[in-house]
Amino acid sequence: MRRVTRRFFNDRLAIVSVVLIVFFFSVAIGAGICQLLDLPMPMRPNATNLERKLLPPNATNWLGTDNLGRDVLSRMIAGSTISLTVGFVAMAVSLGIGIIVGAVSGYLGGWVDNVLMRLVDALMCFPSFFLILSAIAILGPNIWIIITVIGLVSWTGTARLVRAEFLTLRESEYVRAARAMGQSRRKIIFRHIMPNAFAPIFVTAVISIPDAILVESGLSFLSFGVPPPQATWGNIIADGKTYILDAWWLIVFPGLAIFIASLAFYLVGDALRRAAETRPK
């Protein structure tokens, strides 16, 4: 861990990405607190003012206003809470399912491995976005339904990765020694094998966060996401697509937020992968 940490923080691009992630995370926490206390951020995100609709960026509204006169900056700050919550919680759901399925499949092998992997293959045959879209259309647009559906659909890649790691590690000498000492399967899996498979699992977890953010933004853009007036980065873009030629700021600023946040997570995941694979000379 010391070696991986040292090599990771020697990557300047990774440090910049971490700073950006911390910034977005801090904004999301601050927005959540403001919403709980009903405080402006800097204005109330759902407050309409038709006299100030479709104003370009100015001294009062730094990122302009939308077609109802709502402050775009305040709505983007409020939307960061939704987008990052979906990303982190959906990642946790998919990671939990993927680790359990992959660990059981890779360690036990045999018919258990065949059954679980055929299930994974069957799920991977369906386009995940359209599967999520269908489930949301049936169950209704709700943030917790969206998180649950994204998590239940996106665990297959993690399961395959964990299975591959377990297939390699289960024949290691320390695992054989643990079996010879009579330790239980649960203890062998979670105490001996899992810590040694942690690095690729953690990289997969980091990279899956922007995937969930992009899926939520796509659902919101198609009006299948969190229902209005709750702001998300996706539905801000959806509201602005009608005025794309007259109010460019409704598309550009939330689009940049999605792009920068997703890129930061991808760069951190890639830096972690390279740091974990690098061996000391």
Question: What would the DSSP string read from start to end of 79-120?
Answer: HHHHHHHHHHHHHHHHHHHHHHHHHHHHHH-HHHHHHHHHHH
Give me the CATH topology for the region 2-45+64-277: MetI-like fold (1.10.3720)
- CB neighbours of residue 40 within 10 Å: 11
Q: Contact 72/236 with Cβ under 8 angstroms?
A: yes
- The amino acid sitting at 157 is G
Q: Contact 64/247 with Cβ under 8 angstroms?
A: yes
As beta bridge partners, residue 65 has 71
CA–CA distance, 222 with 235 (Å, rounded to integer): 8
Name residue, tokens 């904004």.
Answer: 27
pLDDT tens-place values along the chain, 281 residues long: 788 788 888 888 989 999 999 999 999 998 888 888 877 778 888 888 888 888 999 988 899 998 888 999 999 999 899 889 988 899 899 999 999 899 889 888 888 889 999 989 888 888 888 888 888 888 877 888 888 888 888 898 889 988 988 888 888 888 888 888 888 878 888 888 888 887 788 888 888 889 888 988 888 888 888 887 788 898 899 888 888 888 899 999 999 999 999 999 999 988 888 887 745 44
Q: Contact 231/143 with Cβ under 8 angstroms?
A: no
Residues 6+ apart with CB under 8 A from 111: none
Residues 6+ apart with CB under 8 A from 35: 78, 81
Q: What are phi and psi of 84, to 5 degrees?
A: -75, -35
